Chain A
Amino acid sequence: MSLTLGERLTVRSMVYVASEPIPRFWPMRTFIHHNPLYGLEDRPFAEAVVQGAHLFHARGYLSRAQYQAYRAQGKVADGELRGRITAFLAARTERLPSLDLEAWLWELLTSCCHERLIQSGDWISGAAVRAELHGGALAVPAEDLDGRLGMILGERFPKDLPVYRHVDLLFGTELGATLDDLLSKSCLDFFDEGQSAWQAPGREAGFFAAWKEVARRNVRFLLRGLHLRQLLAEEDTPEGTIAHVLRLLEVPEAVWQDYITHELTRMHGWAGFIRYRSSAKHYYWARRYPADLVDFLAVRMTLGLALIQESHRHHRTPLSGGELATLLQEQPRTAYLRYELYGGTILPAWAQRAEDALVRGRPHAIAELAAAYVPNKICAENAGQAKRLRLLAQAVGPQAEAGLMDLSAEEMDGLLAILRDWEHGEGQAWLQAMEAHYIDELVTKVRIPASEERPSKRPFAQALFCIDVRSEPMRRRLEEFGDYQTYGIAGFFGVPLGYLEYGKGSETHLCPAIQTPKNLVLEIPASLELAEEPLYGALQHVLHELKGSVLSPFVAVEAIGLLFSLGLVGKTVAPLSYHRWHDRLHGDKGVTRLLLDKLSPEQADSVIRAVQRAMIVRALARELPDMVRDQATDDEVRELREIALGHQHGRSALAQRRHMSPEAEAEFIGKLRDIYLVNRAQTSLQMERLGRLGFSVEEQVRYVLQALLSIGLDRNFSRFVLLVGHESRTENNPYESALDCGACGGGKGLPNARALANMANKPEVRRKLRERGIVIPEDTWFLPAIHNTTTDAIELHDLDLLPARHLLYLERLRNGLSAATRHCAAQRMPQLGAPARIADDPVAGAVMARRQAHDWSQVRPEWGLSRNVYAIVGRRVLTEGVDLQGRAFLQSYDYRLDPKGRLLENILTGPLVVGEWINLEHYFSVVDTESYGSGSKVYHNVAGRFAVMTGNQSDLRTGLPTQTVLKDGQPYHEPVRLIALVEAPLAFAQRTVGRIGKVKALIGGGWVRLIVLDPEDDYRAHVFEDGSFHVHPGSGRAAARLSEPHSVVEGAS
Chain B
Amino acid sequence: MILALWLLAAFALPLFPMGWLFNRVLASLPVGWPQALAVLLIPQLGVAALRATHEGWDLPSQWAFYGALWVLLSALFYAFRALSARELGIWTRLLASSGLALTWLDWGSGATWPATEVFVLSWSLPAALLLLLAGALTRRLGGAYLGLQGGLVAVLPRLTASLTMCALALLATPLFPGFFALLRAFDRLPLAFVPLLMPLPLLWGWAAGRFFQDLLFGAYRGEPVTDLGRGPALLIGIALAAFLFVSLLGSGVGL
Contact = CB atoms under 8 A, between A and B. Distances in A.
Q: Which 9 A-B pairs have the closest CB atoms?
A: A348-B143, A351-B145, A349-B143, A348-B142, A352-B87, A349-B142, A344-B148, A348-B145, A348-B141
A164 B221 CA distance: 25
Interface in A732-788: none
Nearest to A348: B143
Contact of B144 (A347, A348, A355): A348
B223 interface: yes
A384 B223 contact: yes
10 contacts: A113-B224, A345-B148, A348-B143, A348-B148, A349-B142, A351-B86, A352-B87, A352-B145, A355-B86, A384-B223
B153 to A, nearest CB: 13
B36 interface: no
B90 interface: yes
A556 B87 CA distance: 51
Interface in B124-180: 138, 141-145, 147-149
A409 interface: no
Interface in B66-95: 86-87, 90
Interface residues of B, number: 15
Contacts of A351: 86-87, 143, 145, 148
A608 interface: no
B14 to A, nearest CB: 20
Contacts of B143: 347-352
Contact of B90 (A347, A352, A384): A352
Given A113-B224, A115-B221, A384-B223, A344 B87 contact: no
A3 interface: no
A120 to B, nearest CB: 10
B243 to A, nearest CB: 29
A697 interface: no
**Central interface residue in A348, A349, A351, A352, by most chain B CB within 10 Å:** A348
Nearest to A384: B223
A231 interface: no
Contacts of A344: 147-149
Contacts of A355: 86
Contacts of A346: 148
Interface in A341-380: 344-352, 355
Nearest to A115: B221
A347 B221 contact: no
Contacts of B144: 348
A347 B87 contact: no
Interface string A108-146: 000001110000000000000000000000000000000
A603 to B, nearest CB: 63
**Central interface residue in A115, A346, A351, A384, by most chain B CB within 10 Å:** A351
Contacts of A384: 223
A539 to B, nearest CB: 43
A385 B86 CA distance: 28
Nearest to B87: A352
Contacts of B223: 384
B70 to A, nearest CB: 27
Contacts of A114: 224
Contacts of B141: 348
Given A347-B143, A348-B148, A349-B138, 13 more contacts: A113-B224, A348-B138, A348-B141, A348-B142, A348-B143, A348-B144, A348-B145, A350-B143, A351-B87, A351-B143, A351-B145, A352-B145, A384-B223
A115 B224 CA distance: 10
A346 B145 CA distance: 10
**Central interface residue in B86, B90, B145, B224, by most chain A CB within 10 Å:** B145
A449 B90 CA distance: 76
Contacts of B87: 351-352
Nearest to B90: A352
Nearest to A930: B219
Nearest to A351: B145
Contacts of B148: 344-346, 348, 351
Contacts of A350: 143
**Central interface residue in A115, A352, A384, by most chain B CB within 10 Å:** A352
A113 to B, nearest CB: 7
Contacts of B147: 344
A347 B145 CA distance: 9
Interface in A186-239: none
Contacts of A115: 221
A380 to B, nearest CB: 8
Contacts of A345: 148
Contacts of B90: 352
B215 to A, nearest CB: 14
Interface in B169-226: 221, 223-224
A216 B227 CA distance: 54
B211 to A, nearest CB: 15
Interface in A315-355: 344-352, 355
**Central interface residue in B138, B143, B223, by most chain A CB within 10 Å:** B143
B154 to A, nearest CB: 10
Nearest to B141: A348
Contacts of A348: 138, 141-145, 148-149
B25 to A, nearest CB: 17
B142 A347 contact: yes
Contacts of B149: 344, 348
A348 B86 CA distance: 11
A344 B148 CA distance: 5
Nearest to B89: A352
A352 B144 CA distance: 9
A1053 to B, nearest CB: 53
A357 to B, nearest CB: 14
B86 to A, nearest CB: 8
A115 B221 CA distance: 8
A184 B244 CA distance: 44
A12 B233 CA distance: 60
Nearest to A347: B142
Contacts of A352: 87, 90, 143, 145
